[in-house]
Amino acid sequence: MRFPLFAAVCILLRTTVAVFADEAWNVDYHYALLGEPQEETTFFHQPNPTSKASLIYTLSKRGVVGAVNPRDGSVVWRQLLSPNLTSSTDRGFLRAGEGQDTIVSGYGSQVAAWSAADGRLAWTVDTHGPLKDVEILELSDGKIESGAKDVVALSGGGSPAVQRLDGASGAVKWQHKFQEGDEVYQLSASTTEVFAILLHKTVLGYIKIRVVSLDPVNGRKTDEYTLSSEKELASAETIISVGANSASPIVAWTDAAHSVLKINIIGTKTVSSYNIEKQDGQPVEKIRIHAPYHANSLSHFLVNYQTATSHWADIYHIDHTRSITQLAYSLPNIAGQGSFSTSTSDANVYFTRITQDELITVSSASHGVLGRWTIDNLGLVSAPHEAIVPTHTVSELSVKGDSVSAIRTAVLLSTGDWVLLRDSKPVWARPEALADIRSATFATPSVLEDFQHKLDVETHRNFVGAYLHRVKRHLEELKHLPSYMSSMPQRFISGFLGTTDEGAMASDSFGFHKVIVCATGNGRLMALDAGSASRVLWSRRAVDLDSSESWQPGLSSRADVIVLERGSGKSRQTFNATNGDPLPGIPDTHDLQSGLGVQYTLRDGVLEATRTDKANAGSVWHFTPMADERILHLVPRPVNDPVASIGKVLGDRRVLYKYLDSNLALLATANDASTSAQFYVLDTITGSILHSSAHSGVDLQAPISSILSENWFAYSYTAEASDASTKGHHLVVGEMFESLVPNDRGGLNAATNFSTVQSGTDPFTLVQTYQIPEAISKMAVTQTRQGITSRQLLAVLADVEAIVGIPYNALDPRRPVNRAPTKDEQMEGLVQYEPVIEFDPKWFLNHQREVLGIENVMTNPALIESTSIVFAYGLDIFGTRLSPSFSFDILGKDFNKFQMLATVAALAVATFVVAPLVMRKQVNTRWQFT
C-alpha cells in the first residue's frame, strides 16, 4: 500500500535531475549574423555543379564571408576574414566560377578559396599589397588542369602587380609587375585576355584610364592604350566599374555633373558616348551598371540612373562585329528608389526591377514583361513613419516558356534588414544592421517601470506602511480580475502543460522583458526584448548619415527614456523606449549621471579627470604614465553596483570588512619597449593609487581585459614564454578589505563621518593569479537588484567564440594555498587553491553555439534578486539570463504543475484508502487475544 507514495517521490526525483538542459535554448537567444551584404559581393550560386539548390553567398561590410540558405535564412557557414571589425574599411571581393565548388574571396591582402558547401578553407595566399580586384579566369581554351579555375588578383601598394593563382592550390603561376606611378584600379577578363585598368594622373591633376592587356597564359603584356582624353575625368569616383567575366567586359565613366555616359568595350579603342537626359528636372545622382557575370551569356547590360526622387534604366546590347554598344530599350521612370538585379539562364539574361511596391522581370533581349508581382509589405519589421526602400538585390529565377514561373529575390532594405522574397512574399528577414552595434543600453518599459516603482516604495517604507501599500496595490489589481478570469482557462491549460507564454511583456512580473536599445552603424535605433528570443520590438532611423560618415553614438537611459548622443559634444535626442517615439524634452545630463563626480578624458597620453558639475568645473587630477607607457583602458566601477553586505562573513561568524568605495577605477597601461603591462586601482576622487601591479614579458598583441566591481578587480593578459615558464594566459583577481583582521575596520574603526579626501585610508589587497586556457578579450560582471546574489565574472573568449560565466568562488583570492581548507573555510565554501582554472563546460553560456566577434557584454538586474540579464554584441547578438546563486526566488521551468497536482491527488487517494485499513488494524489489535 506504500506504492503511490513511492511512485510520487520517484516522479519528483526524476524531474529534478534535469535542471539545466531545458533552460538552454529557452532563456537564451543567439543571432548568427553576417553584417550587411554588399552589392558586388552577393550572389546565388550552386555549392557544387551537381546540386540543384543554390545558396546565397555574401561578403559583408563586416568582413564576414558566408553562405545563407535561401529557404529559411539560416547560416550554412561563415568565416570572419578580419578580426578587426570596427576598423575595417575594406570592401573586399567575392567570386564564384561557373560550375565551381569553391568560392574565392579577396580581403586586405589575402586571397582565399573556400569550399562552397561547408566553408572549409582550400588555400590562402598573401599578395603583399592591398587587393584592388580578384577575378576567376573563364578561359575559352578550356584547359583546366585540376578542375578548379584559376584566379587572377590585382594588388596595389608599393609594388603593384597582377598574379595568376592556381585554382586548386593557390600557387602563383605568373606575376606581372607594373611600374610605380599609375594607380592600379581593376581587372577585367574576357575569354582570351586579361585586362588591367590603371589610372594615370596627368600634370593638370586629371585622370586618364589606361588599359594594359595581358596574355593569360604567361602574363606578358600584349597591348597598352589610353582611353579617356585630357580633362575628362576629375576623379576616380565617376568611373563606373563593371563586372569582369562577361563575354565582353566594358568600362564606363561619366563627368562630375552626370550629363554624358561614355562606354568602352575593353579591348577596343572606340568609346561610345550617350547624353543623359534629365527627368523631372532632377540631376542624376547615381549611375550603376548591371551586367551578367558569365562568359557565355549574351553581352547585354543595364544602366540604372537614380535621381533624388525617381529612377529609370536603359538596356544596351554589344555588337561584336562592329565593336560598338547600342541602346536596345528603356525601362520607364518610376518615382522613388528602386534596385535592379541580373540573372542568367543558359545564355539568356534577365533583369529584375524592384521598387517599394512592385517586382518585375524583363528579358535583356526585349522589353516585354515576363513576370510582375505586387509587393504588399516589403519590411517584415515595423518601422513606422518611414519609407522602406530596397538598397540592392540579387535574384534567382526559373523561366518556363515566355514567363517567369518562380523568382527568389534577396533584398537589402534601407533599414539594414536582409529580406528574401519568394515571388513577392517575404519569407525571412535577417536584421543584419545588428551586426554593427555601436552602443547599447538597457531600458525599463513603462509597464515594468510602474511595477518596479511600486515595489521600491514597499522596500523603503516601514513594514506597516509597506503592508498597507501592498494591500492597496492588490486591491487596485482587482480591477484586472475580470480579464484575468476570462484568460483563466487558457492560463490553467498552459500552466498545466508547462507551456507558459514567455513573450508577454505586459505580464512580466519578474522583470525579464527589459528593452535593449541599440544604436547601429547605419544610423538607426533598434530595440530588442531582453526576455524573449529573436524579437525586434521597433526600429527607426535616428540620424541621416553620409555614406562615408562613421558615428560614435552614446546611449543612456533613465527608466523608459533613451538618450542618444551623437558623438562627443554633439546634439542629443530622446526617445521612448517602449515604442521608439521621439520625445520633445532633452534631459539634463546631470540627472542621468548623478553620483558620478568626475569624468575622464585621455589627452596626449595623459588621463585627466574633471568635475562633472558645471558650476564647479575644473581639472581634479592628472594621471601621467611613466615614460614609454601608454594607457590601454580605464574601467570604473559600474554605476549601478549594489552591495548587500559591507562585510564578508567567515566560517566562524566573524566578519572581514570590504573596502567599498563607489569611486574606484582600474587603469591598465602598457610599455612596448619593455613588453610589460601595469595595472593601477585608482580612487577617482583624489586620483591616488590604492593598488598597483606590474607584469613583465607580456604579449601586448594579445588582448588585455579588466573589470572592477564591489571590492574586487580582475584582469587578464598573455605572458610570453620565458626560461621559467611557457606562454600562457593569466587571470589575476584582487580583493580589497579595510583590514585583514576579522571584526576590525582598520583606520575607519571609530569614524562615523568619513571623507576619502581627508582621511585616505588604503585598502589591504589580497591578490591571486590563475592560469587559464584561453585569452579573455572582454570582461563583465553579473548585476542583480540588491547585490545579494553572488557574482559571476563573464569572460569573452574570442579564440573559441564563446562566453563563460566564472563563479566568483572559483576566483576567490582567499582560497587556501598549499593546504586543505579548514572547517571554517569549508563553511565559507573555499576550496584549496589550484594554479590552473579549467573552464567547466557548464560555465559556457553559449553552450555549443559559436558566438562570433563579441566586442561587449552588458548586464542588468531583473526585478527578482536571483537573476541577472546578459546581453552581448559585436558581430553576433547573444542574450541570456543568469542565476549565479540558482533561482531561489522563482520556480524553474522544469517545475511541473501537473506532476505536483498528480502527486497531491495520489497522496489524497492513498490517505483515503489507507486510513480505514489502519483504523481496522488498530481495532483488531485491541481485540486480539494473545
Ligand X SMILES: *[C@@H]1O[C@H](CO)[C@@H](O)[C@H](O)[C@H]1NC(C)=O
CB nearer to ligand X: give 87 or 568: 87
All 3 cell numbers of residue 849?
A: 553555439
Instruction: Say whether residue 529 binds ligand X (CB under 6 A).
Output: no
* Distance in angstroms (rounded) separating the CA atoms of residues 183 and 157: 9
Instruction: Say whether residue 87 binds ligand X (CB under 6 A).
Output: yes
Tell me which stretch binds ligand X (CB under 6 A): 81-89, 255-263, 307-315, 770-778: 81-89
CB nearer to ligand X: give 51 or 755: 755
CA distances to 11, 502, 904 from 497, rounded to whole Å, are 16, 14, 17
485: helix, strand or coil? helix
To ligand X, the closest distance from the beta carbon of 476 in angstroms equals: 17
CB nearer to ligand X: give 632 or 740: 632
To ligand X, the closest distance from the beta carbon of 677 in angstroms equals: 18
To ligand X, the closest distance from the beta carbon of 84 in angstroms equals: 4
Instruction: Say whether residue 578 binds ligand X (CB under 6 A).
Output: yes
* Distance in angstroms (rounded) separating the CA atoms of residues 44 and 70: 9
458: helix, strand or coil? helix
CB nearer to ligand X: give 84 or 169: 84
Among positions 26, 48, 84, 509, the unique one binding ligand X when judged by CB under 6 A: 84
CA distances to 91, 238, 251, 312 from 285, rounded to whole Å, are 22, 11, 19, 12
To ligand X, the closest distance from the beta carbon of 368 in angstroms equals: 50
C-alpha R_g of the chain: 34
To ligand X, the closest distance from the beta carbon of 110 in angstroms equals: 11
Q: DSSP letters of 77-139?
A: EEEES-S-TTT-----EEEE-TT-SEEEEEETTEEEEEETTT--EEEEEE-SS-EEEEEE---
* Distance in angstroms (rounded) separating the CA atoms of residues 135 and 104: 8
Nearest alpha-carbon partner for 511 in 458, 576, 443: 443
Tell me which stretch binds ligand X (CB under 6 A): 254-262, 310-318, 518-526, 574-582: 574-582
Instruction: Say whether residue 682 binds ligand X (CB under 6 A).
Output: no
Instruction: Say whether residue 701 binds ligand X (CB under 6 A).
Output: no
* Distance in angstroms (rounded) separating the CA atoms of residues 212 and 476: 82
* Distance in angstroms (rounded) separating the CA atoms of residues 529 and 231: 56
Among positions 462, 616, 753, 928, the unique one binding ligand X when judged by CB under 6 A: 753
CB nearer to ligand X: give 84 or 405: 84
To ligand X, the closest distance from the beta carbon of 509 in angstroms equals: 18
CB nearer to ligand X: give 588 or 723: 588
* Helix, strand, coil percentages, rounded to 5, for the chain: 15, 40, 45
CB nearer to ligand X: give 420 or 536: 536
- 639 — alpha (psi -120 to 50), left (phi > 0) or beta? alpha
To ligand X, the closest distance from the beta carbon of 753 in angstroms equals: 4
Buried b (16+ CB within 10 A) or exposed e, 196-227: bbbbeeeeeebbbbbbbbbebeebeeeeeeeb
Instruction: Say whether residue 579 binds ligand X (CB under 6 A).
Output: yes
CB nearer to ligand X: give 576 or 771: 576
Tell me which stretch binds ligand X (CB under 6 A): 82-90, 615-623, 791-799, 914-922: 82-90
CB nearer to ligand X: give 80 or 239: 80
CB nearer to ligand X: give 85 or 851: 85
Among positions 561, 779, 810, 852, the unique one binding ligand X when judged by CB under 6 A: 561
Tell me which stretch binds ligand X (CB under 6 A): 163-171, 229-237, 377-385, 576-584: 576-584
Tell me which stretch binds ligand X (CB under 6 A): 157-165, 188-196, 573-581, 853-861: 573-581
* Distance in angstroms (rounded) separating the CA atoms of residues 744 and 656: 7
* Distance in angstroms (rounded) separating the CA atoms of residues 77 and 65: 8
Burial class of residue 700 in the structure, from the number of CB atoms within 10 Å of its CB (0-12 exposed, 13-18 middle, 19+ buried)? middle
Tell me which stretch binds ligand X (CB under 6 A): 578-586, 594-602, 604-612, 900-908: 578-586
Instruction: Say whether residue 560 binds ligand X (CB under 6 A).
Output: yes
To ligand X, the closest distance from the beta carbon of 893 in angstroms equals: 29
Per CB under 6 A, which of residues 394..423 are in contact with ligand X? none
To ligand X, the closest distance from the beta carbon of 735 in angstroms equals: 29
To ligand X, the closest distance from the beta carbon of 90 in angstroms equals: 10
> In the structure, how many helices (H) and strands (E) does the chain have?
10, 60
**Length of the chain as a residue count:** 930
* Distance in angstroms (rounded) separating the CA atoms of residues 670 and 666: 14
Tell me which stretch binds ligand X (CB under 6 A): 48-56, 577-585, 830-838, 882-890: 577-585
Report the 10 Å Cβ neighbour count for 147: 11
Q: DSSP letters of 811-864?
A: H-TTSPSSS---HHHHHHT-----SB----GGGBTTTT---TTEEEEEEEE-SS
Instruction: Say whether residue 452 binds ligand X (CB under 6 A).
Output: no
To ligand X, the closest distance from the beta carbon of 587 in angstroms equals: 11
To ligand X, the closest distance from the beta carbon of 446 in angstroms equals: 4
Tell me which stretch binds ligand X (CB under 6 A): 28-36, 347-355, 399-407, 575-583: 575-583
All 3 cell numbers of residue 533?
A: 528570443
* Residue type, position 737, single letter: F
Instruction: Say whether residue 446 binds ligand X (CB under 6 A).
Output: yes
CB nearer to ligand X: give 64 or 407: 64
To ligand X, the closest distance from the beta carbon of 567 in angstroms equals: 17
CB nearer to ligand X: give 362 or 685: 685
Tell me which stretch binds ligand X (CB under 6 A): 80-88, 497-505, 511-519, 883-891: 80-88
Tell me which stretch binds ligand X (CB under 6 A): 323-331, 522-530, 572-580, 672-680: 572-580
CB nearer to ligand X: give 445 or 511: 445
* Distance in angstroms (rounded) separating the CA atoms of residues 716 and 386: 46
Nearest alpha-carbon partner for 446 in 492, 506, 498: 506
CB nearer to ligand X: give 84 or 487: 84
CB nearer to ligand X: give 41 or 578: 578
* Distance in angstroms (rounded) separating the CA atoms of residues 256 and 259: 8
* Distance in angstroms (rounded) separating the CA atoms of residues 534 and 675: 44
H-helix or E-strand spanning residue 65: strand 64-68
The three-state (H, E, C) secondary structure of 66-89, written as one string = EEECCCCCCEEEEEECCCCCCCCC
CB nearer to ligand X: give 446 or 899: 446
CB nearer to ligand X: give 753 or 924: 753
To ligand X, the closest distance from the beta carbon of 716 in angstroms equals: 20
To ligand X, the closest distance from the beta carbon of 450 in angstroms equals: 9
H-helix or E-strand spanning residue 546: none
Per CB under 6 A, which of residues 580..619 are in contact with ligand X? 583
To ligand X, the closest distance from the beta carbon of 449 in angstroms equals: 9
CB nearer to ligand X: give 83 or 773: 83
Nearest alpha-carbon partner for 251 in 150, 333, 325: 325
- Residues that contact ligand X, how many (by CB under 6 A): 11
803: helix, strand or coil? strand
Tell me which stretch binds ligand X (CB under 6 A): 79-87, 528-536, 709-717, 740-748: 79-87
Among positions 333, 576, 612, 662, the unique one binding ligand X when judged by CB under 6 A: 576
Using CB under 6 A as the criterion, which residues of the chain lie in contact with ligand X when the complex forms? 83-84, 87, 446, 560-561, 576, 578-579, 583, 753
